[in-house]
């Protein structure tokens, strides 16, 4: 036996290797697509409710369609599933009229109820949707999403199991009633005996929360409890029935479908941009039957997914490619030109560039900035430069001395030579910042800031008690270890030292730790970036209201808060509203809890035979608007070897 | 031999338990979590996301819950890629990394052995010196440099192969070369050393004395002895090569496993990270066992314990 084994071993090994090699080579080749593009890193999800990124948006916009579409030329709202819409006199009610021929890919019509279902799903706390706040303009939506209830509210109680006969992944059985009493208790309360809680303690405390409700249902008072801790064996909770969640009744939220073709929104305040917001992909509808039948993630598999967009999901290979095929049920199918589109998952921008240069792809949406100066020198007609609604900036931790002093913060800003950083250090691909809100929002003009004035900087610093940087402690500058961040921070470190004599130490943290440190205000100065969600200054300014989720500077300003939270939302006249926004930005730039540095541009390469791809500041390029000039493609590829 | 395999399996289970437990707690000790992202999410959303990922129950419950599912080979849904289960991610990536790895290995073994043998036979002469110089270079130059050079040469200067991608045989050549090159270099050095040692043995002299040709002596009698050090190197090397290379897969946009371990750790994708650690443990352990077995086959004097 052993002897045979010994003799056979080399042959067996060789055969095994050859088989493996055969398997590696013998994959089925897929037919080339009409249009192939690089879509960055593998997308997080195709579920509109939980996706947040650009690459996700490109795919979701192809598979689903919202009430309105954005015209890629000027981002104005054009009819989508809604054929038309109108606003009430006080612009607090918007009525959408759905088209008759909008169909799901299984042939059933898209109804107003589908939207109500999808918006409820987006707002459901259990969905944990990051973009749920986009619907906070709607009456009652925030309360529903945050799970807040008050005595006297009509509430819905969701049990753990779906009602009998319902699909397996439907919501739990619902009971409806009126809240009579509400109480909360904390098991082993970490806050006991403490007056102030850190963020982590606050989280820990909420995890130990048991919420107890007494609710009148059909004239009978019943008791329910929710929370993870509710399952502990504590006699005091025994009288309560454990349920999944208790929310305000969704019927009290201002989203209604009086009939199949009409959808009505009641808004808290007049919000003129709400119509445009329904074209933002988290607000796209999903197909209720498939979601409830298959559950997540199975409903998103190519064989199960039902969408209402211009394309179907034909194939999805993880971290490889997504193949989209034109949907025949789409109402505007005759204007969708490309039949098959491949979106490749390519992590490295340099690899993407190689593939573009080697003519394997037609479009690469991000060009590595290091190579940009080289590409610009070549003077090529397929390189496009577009302004983009984004900013790179520094946060100051205004709770730490000496950064508590606005003069110190302003001095640090005045000492930065932004044009030099953009041109010489970062070598292009960016515009030096002249305000916090990026350039390009129509009708809005930012106040001017961010001049380079070393004299004034030194004067301000001296006035603050640190002439020539003397007596000032060493500051730390936190960054997230990316190559760009490192270069930028080193440049600023040098400029601050050179101009002001301020010593700065760079602190490099990997991404997760960096996020935590910024969140917990464990830094002096930290690099940051922000991409606008919609075309309005508000998307850049509202993060700095007191206690805002993305404020992270400790800065608080009563007048700023009043404008952003009270005055601007109530202003009906769009021009006056933008003037208020400008006032808010002036406050922000005078106080300087943040230092604007530069506005990154979007640089991308796209073949000149690809038509219908327009520059816009949200970098939105709907795939169904694209078409290919075949004659030009022929001309360009003919002299080359066919691959 | 059966007893040996059973014993090894028992140790395997213990190893997996120890490594998984350690990783389970380590990954939870790092700051942040699977819901951390650039945009700060409101507290109520974060708590809901925690609940969704089952991270809000006490740690011991998470621990036992995880091992309960592990026993049923259910690694859960990826925390960061919620469209896929960890099983699916591994099932999609492993064949890709493994088939690329096998090709690279074939290339590495063939080239490395040939070079090593030639080198040993022509010891001290021109061939030997140049092969060993090339091998040293192959070990010293990092793979991203090798990759950049071959891309420039064989994609742009002389357009033979696609720049990156997956799905066609042509896509395999450059990454397999870059992946295999350092291994080939190692194998060349190891087989040369092993060969030189064997060539000075008495039984080789006997073989020559019997009038056998150099070729017969080298290939039939000396090679087997020279293979032993190569095999002990191949165990861990195969494990590494099969589970994919971060650098090569990134440069050539290959949908393998190589990227996951590091990315999952950086992104705090708890479930995927534990799944990847499991894959590494399993592959490394089985390769070591296979190497021990092959020792026994190559050299009857070796006892399995």
Task: Give per-residue pLDDT as tens, A534-557.
Answer: 888 988 998 899 887 788 999 999
What's the pLDDT score for residue A1?
A: 46
Contact A599, A619 (CB under 8 A): no
Among the candidates A225, A252, A279, a domain finishes at A252
Supply the CATH number for residue A412's domain. Answer: 3.10.105.10
A42 dihedral zone (left: phi>0; alpha: psi -120 to 50; beta): beta
Residues of A in contact with B298 (CB under 8 A): 6, 9
Nearest to A622 by CA among A337, A379, A273: A337
> Within an 8 Å CB–CB cutoff, is residue A354 touching chain B?
yes
Q: At what angle do helices B2-29 and B59-71 cross, to 10 degrees?
A: 150
Torsion of CA B83, B88, B89, B90, to 10 degrees: 170
pLDDT at A352 over 60: yes
Check whether residue A415 and residue A562 sit in a common domain.
Answer: yes
- Structural domain total, chain A: 2
Is any Cβ of chain B less than 8 angstroms from the Cβ of A50? Answer: yes
Q: Is residue A56 part of a domain?
A: no
pLDDT class of A642 with cuts at 50, 70, 90: very low
pTM of the model: 0.87
Better-scored residue on pLDDT, B123 or A214: A214
Residues A248 and A395 in one domain: no
User: Is A261 a member of any domain?
Assistant: no
Q: Is residue A627 part of a domain?
A: no
Q: What is the model's pLDDT at position A116?
A: 97
Residue A24 — very low, low, confident or very high, per pLDDT cuts 50/70/90?
low
Q: How far is CA B159 from CA A362, A597, B163, in A?
A: 18, 42, 9
Tell me the three state secondary structure of residue A576.
helix
The residue among A223, A252, A281 that closes a domain is A252
Which band of pLDDT confidence, cut at 50, 70 and 90, is reported for residue A643?
Answer: very low
A347: Cα within 13 Å, side-chain hemisphere: 19
Which of A131, A73, A99, A72 is CA-nearest to residue A284?
A: A131
Distance from CA of B23 to the nearest CA of A (A): 17
Q: Which contiguous run of DSSP H or E holds residue A311?
A: strand A311-317
> Do A403 and A550 fall into the same domain?
yes
**Range of the structural domain that residue A459 is part of:** 390-600
Boundary (domain end) residue, out of A222, A252, A282 = A252
Lowest-confidence pick of A188-197, A466-475, A607-616, B77-86 = A188-197
Residue A442's pLDDT is what?
A: 84
Instruction: Name chain A contacts of B252, Cβ cutoff 8 Å.
Output: 351
Mind giving me the DSSP string for B66-81? HHHHHHTT---B-SS-
Residue A9 has pLDDT above 70, yes or no: no
Who has greater pLDDT, B138 or A598? A598
Nearest chain A residue (CA) to B258? A319
Under DSSP, is residue A162 helix (H, G, I), strand (E, B) or coil? coil
pLDDT of residue B170: 84
Q: Kindly list the residues from chain A whose CB atom is less than 8 angstroms away from the CB atom of residue B267.
A: 511-512
On average, the pLDDT of chain A sits at: 90
Taking alpha carbons only, the member of A424, A433, A365, A429 closest to residue A594 is: A433
CB atoms within 10 A of CB A536: 25
The top-scoring range by mean pLDDT among A27-36, A341-350, B35-44 is: A341-350
Chain A residue numbers touching B88 (CB-CB < 8 A): 318
- A347 within some domain: no
Q: Is the C-alpha dihedral spanning A379, A382, A388, A393 positive or negative?
A: negative
pLDDT at position A292 = 96
Q: What is the 3-state secondary structure (H, E, C) of A217-252?
A: ECCEEEEEEECHHHHCCCHHHCCCEECCEEEECHHH
Digit-coded pLDDT (tens) for A264-276: 999 988 777 789 8
A584 occurs within a structural domain? yes
Closest-CA distance of chain A to residue B126, Å:
31
Q: What pLDDT digit, counting tens, does each position of A397-431 carry? A: 999 989 999 999 999 999 999 999 998 888 878 99
Q: Give the pLDDT of residue A641.
A: 47
Instruction: Give me the percent of chain B exceeding a pLDDT of 90.
Output: 33
**A325 assigned to some structural domain:** no
Phi-psi region at A88: left, alpha or beta (left = phi > 0; alpha = psi -120 to 50): beta
Q: What percent of chain A has pLDDT over 90?
A: 64
In a domain, A329, yes or no: no
| B251 at A interface, C-beta within 8 A | yes
Question: Residue A48 falls within a domain, yes or no?
Answer: no
Place of tokens 């006249």: A573
């Amino acid at each position: 036996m052993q002897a045979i084994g010994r003799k056979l071993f080399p042959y067996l090994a060789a055969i095994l290797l050859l088989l493996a090699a055969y398997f590696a080579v013998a994959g089925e080749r897929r037919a080339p697509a009409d249009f192939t593009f690089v879509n960055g890193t593998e997308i997080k999800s195709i579920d509109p409710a939980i996706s947040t990124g650009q690459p996700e948006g490109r795919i979701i916009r192809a598979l689903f369609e919202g009430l309105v579409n954005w015209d890629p030329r000027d981002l104005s709202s054009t009819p989508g599933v809604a054929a038309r819409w109108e606003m009430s006199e006080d612009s607090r009610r918007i009525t959408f009229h759905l088209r008759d021929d909008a169909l799901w890919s299984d042939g059933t019509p898209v109804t107003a109820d589908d939207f109500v279902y999808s918006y409820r799903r987006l707002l459901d706390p259990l969905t944990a949707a990051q973009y749920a706040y986009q619907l906070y303009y709607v009456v009652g939506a925030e309360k529903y999403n945050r799970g807040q209830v008050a005595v006297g509210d009509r509430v819905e109680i969701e049990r753990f199991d779906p009602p009998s006969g319902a699909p397996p992944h439907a919501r739990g059985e619902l009971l409806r009633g009126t809240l009579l009493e509400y109480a909360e208790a904390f098991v082993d309360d970490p806050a006991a005996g403490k007056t102030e809680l850190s963020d982590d303690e606050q989280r820990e405390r909420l995890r130990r929360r048991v919420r107890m409700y007494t609710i009148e249902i059909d004239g009978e008072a019943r008791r329910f409890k929710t929370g993870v801790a509710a399952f502990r064996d504590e006699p005091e909770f025994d009288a309560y029935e454990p349920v999944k969640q208790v929310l305000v009744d969704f019927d009290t939220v201002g989203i209604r479908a009086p009939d199949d073709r009409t959808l009505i929104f009641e808004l808290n305040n007049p919000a003129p941009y709400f119509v445009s917001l329904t074209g933002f992909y988290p607000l796209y509808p999903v197909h209720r039957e498939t979601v409830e039948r298959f559950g997540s993630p199975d409903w998103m598999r190519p064989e199960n997914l039902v969408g209402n967009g211009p394309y179907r999901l034909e194939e999805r290979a993880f971290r490889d490619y997504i193949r989209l095929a034109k949907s025949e049920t789409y109402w505007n199918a005759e204007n969708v030109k490309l039949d098959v589109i491949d979106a490749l998952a390519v992590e490295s921008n340099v690899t993407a560039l190689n593939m573009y240069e080697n003519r394997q792809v037609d479009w690469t949406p991000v060009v590595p900035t290091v190579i940009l100066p080289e590409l610009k020198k070549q003077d090529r007609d397929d390189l496009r430069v577009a302004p983009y609604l984004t900013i790179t900036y520094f946060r100051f931790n205004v709770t730490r001395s000496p950064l508590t002093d606005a003069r110190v913060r302003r001095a640090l800003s005045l000492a930065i030579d932004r044009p030099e950083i953009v041109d010489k250090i970062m070598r292009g691909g960016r515009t030096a910042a002249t305000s916090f809100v990026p350039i390009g929002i129509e009708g809005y003009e930012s106040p001017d800031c961010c001049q380079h004035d070393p004299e004034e900087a030194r004067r301000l610093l001296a006035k603050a008690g640190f002439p020539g940087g003397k007596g000032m402690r060493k500051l730390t500058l936190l960054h997230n270890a990316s190559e760009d961040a490192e270069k930028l921070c080193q440049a600023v470190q040098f400029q601050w030292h050179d101009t002001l004599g301020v010593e700065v130490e760079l602190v490099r943290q990997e991404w997760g730790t960096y996020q935590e440190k910024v969140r917990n205000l464990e830094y002096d100065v930290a690099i940051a970036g922000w991409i606008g969600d919609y075309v309005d200054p508000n998307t850049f300014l509202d993060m700095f209201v007191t206690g805002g989720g993305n404020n992270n500077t400790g800065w608080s300003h009563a007048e700023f808060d009043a404008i952003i939270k009270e005055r601007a939302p109530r202003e009906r006249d769009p021009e006056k509203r933008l003037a208020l926004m400008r006032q808010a930005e002036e406050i922000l730039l005078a106080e300087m809890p943040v230092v604007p540095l530069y506005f990154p541009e979007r640089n991308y390469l796209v073949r000149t035979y690809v038509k219908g791809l327009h520059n816009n500041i949200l970098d939105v390029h709907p795939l169904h608007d694209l078409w290919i000039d075949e004659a030009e493609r022929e001309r360009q590829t003919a002299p080359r070897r066919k691959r | 031999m059966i007893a040996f395999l059973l014993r090894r399996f028992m140790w395997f289970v213990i190893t997996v338990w120890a490594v998984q437990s350690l990783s389970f707690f380590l990954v939870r000790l790092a700051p942040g979590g699977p819901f951390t992202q650039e945009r700060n999410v409101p507290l109520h959303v974060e708590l809901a996301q925690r609940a969704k990922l089952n991270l809000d129950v006490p740690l011991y419950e998470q621990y036992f819950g995880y091992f309960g599912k592990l026993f049923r080979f259910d690694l859960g849904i990826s925390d960061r890629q919620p469209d896929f289960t960890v099983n699916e991610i591994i099932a999609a990536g492993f064949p890709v990394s493994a088939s690329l790895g096998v090709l690279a290995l074939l290339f590495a073994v063939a080239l490395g052995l040939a070079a090593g043998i030639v080198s040993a036979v022509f010891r001290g002469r021109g061939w030997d010196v140049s092969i060993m110089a090339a091998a040293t270079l192959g070990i010293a130059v990092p793979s991203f440099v090798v990759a950049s050079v071959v891309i420039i040469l064989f994609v742009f200067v002389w357009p033979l192969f696609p720049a990156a991608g997956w799905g066609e045989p042509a896509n395999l050549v450059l990454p397999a070369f870059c992946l295999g090159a350092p291994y080939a270099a190692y194998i060349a050095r190891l087989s040369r050393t092993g060969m030189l040692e064997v060539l000075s043995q008495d039984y080789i002299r006997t073989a020559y004395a019997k009038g056998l040709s150099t070729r017969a002596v080298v290939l039939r009698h000396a090679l087997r002895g020279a293979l032993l050090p190569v095999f002990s190197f191949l165990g861990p090397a195969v494990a590494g090569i099969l589970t994919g290379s971060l650098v090569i897969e990134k440069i050539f946009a290959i949908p393998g496993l190589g990227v996951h371990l590091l990315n999952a750790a950086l992104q705090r994708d708890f479930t995927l990270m534990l799944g990847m650690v499991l894959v590494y443990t399993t592959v490394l352990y089985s390769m070591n066992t296979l190497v021990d077995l092959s020792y026994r086959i190559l050299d009857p004097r070796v006892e399995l314990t």
